[in-house]
């Protein structure tokens, strides 16, 4: 009798779950930063000159997503 665990490689399923939950945090973070930046520019257009600082913060958050992606290849 075949079981589901025998036919499906559970490491692939586990890596998919890790990837999904790991990318969820940075995606929400980038969305919240983008919304706050657009709200700030809408209220005060002079704030738009600080876009470079916002991009650095977004790059740091994106680094967390890349670490999640890299961890998939480390897990055996």
Asked if the model's pLDDT at residue 1 lies above 60, the reply is no
Q: Which two tokens stand for residue 39?
A: 């709200």
4-17 pLDDT, tens digit each: 666 677 788 888 88
16-71 pLDDT, tens digit each: 888 899 899 999 999 999 999 999 999 999 988 888 898 999 999 999 989 988 98
In 3D space, the residue among 18, 6, 21, 4 whose CA is nearest the CA of residue 75 turns out to be 18
pLDDT of residue 2: 60
In 3D space, the residue among 70, 74, 66, 75 whose CA is nearest the CA of residue 25 turns out to be 66
Other C-beta atoms within 10 Å of 44: how many? 9
On whether the CB atoms of residues 65 and 23 are closer than 8 A, the answer is yes
């Amino acid at each position: 009798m075949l079981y589901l665990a025998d036919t499906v490689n559970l490491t692939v399923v586990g890596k998919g779950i890790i990837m999904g939950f790991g990318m969820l945090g940075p995606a929400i973070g980038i969305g919240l930063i983008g919304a706050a930046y657009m709200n700030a520019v809408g209220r005060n257009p002079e704030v738009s000159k600080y876009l470079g600082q916002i991009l650095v913060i977004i790059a740091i958050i994106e680094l967390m997503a890349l670490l999640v992606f890299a961890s998939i290849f480390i897990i055996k």
